[in-house]
Amino acid sequence: MLPMSSDTPLQKCPRCRYSLTGLPDIHRCPECAFEYDKRMVVIEQSAKLSWFLVGMYSVGALMWTSYLAATSSFGWGSLILTVFWFATFLGARQSIRLRNRSKALLWPDGLILLPAQGDFMYYASWDDVSRVEYDRLGGGAKLLAHDGSTLHAVPYDFFGSGRISKEFIAAANRIREQYLTEEY
Ligand SMILES: [Zn+2]
């Protein structure tokens, strides 16, 4: 079973969300030059933090509305402020939910970690990874090399949820296994 967070085959560029409709299965994104493979399974960071921020905006908007209702002094200034408030809220919701989320991409060749901030990208081939394990102490994941050493640690914050870390680990091990048995 594929993780629920993924749309396979890939519909949008995992980096910039440009639509990949009509483009070849393995190609460069015309928008950001990211080399995608439509078989990539995307596992995204938890949206918990985004919902917390959106919740704060909502409470703020509710308080503002209550204040206006209580003072009954709704003029043009108040209307402009209210519109401005909702525009800010929608903008924040868009940017937080759609763009600033870390992503892990898994596909037959290996895995890529795309952190929410910055251009840094981590890539590992399945040939270099022997297993992906849950890190009991930190709540994140560990990519293990063939000699048992840690090749790369994925901190808890990357997915922001132990459940998503485990979902990532299960999907990574499954896809790696499929690659090795050449089911692809
Ligand atoms: Zn792109």
CA of 29 to the centre of ligand 1 (A): 5
pTM, 2 dp: 0.72
Contact 129, 112 (CB under 8 A): no
Is 12 in contact with 31 (CB distance < 8 Å)? no
**Distance of CA 147 from the midpoint of ligand 1 (Å):** 35
Closest CA to 64 of 49, 54, 51, 74: 74
Ligand 1 centroid–CA 124 distance in Å is: 20
So what's the pLDDT on residue 2?
43
Quote the pLDDT of residue 11: 93
- For residue 121, the CA-to-ligand 1 centroid distance in Å is 14
Q: Which residue has the tokens 């459940």?
A: 163
The SS3 of residue 23 is coil
Residue 33 CA, ligand 1 centroid: distance in Å:
6
What is the predicted pLDDT for the residue at 74?
64
Q: What share of the chain is helix, strand, coil (3-state, %, to 5)?
A: 40, 20, 40
Distance 139 CA to ligand 1 centre (A): 30
Domain boundaries of the chain, sorted by first residue:
26-46+102-180, 48-99
Expressed in angstroms and rounded, the spacing between residue 160 Cα and the centre of ligand 1 is 24
How many angstroms is it from 17 CA to the middle of ligand 1?
6
Maximum separation of any 2 CA atoms in the chain, in Å: 71
Ligand 1: centre distance to CA 35 (Å):
8
How many Å lie between the centroid of ligand 1 and the Cα of residue 112? 14
- Mean pLDDT in order along the chain per 10 residues (184 residues): 57 91 96 94 82 73 76 73 76 62 92 86 94 93 96 92 94 92 66
How far is ligand 1, taken at its centre, from the CA of residue 16, in Å? Answer: 4
pLDDT attached to residue 1: 39
Ligand 1: centre distance to CA 95 (Å): 16
**In which element (H, E) is residue 26 found?**
strand 26-28
Domain 26-46+102-180 belongs in CATH node 2.60.40: no
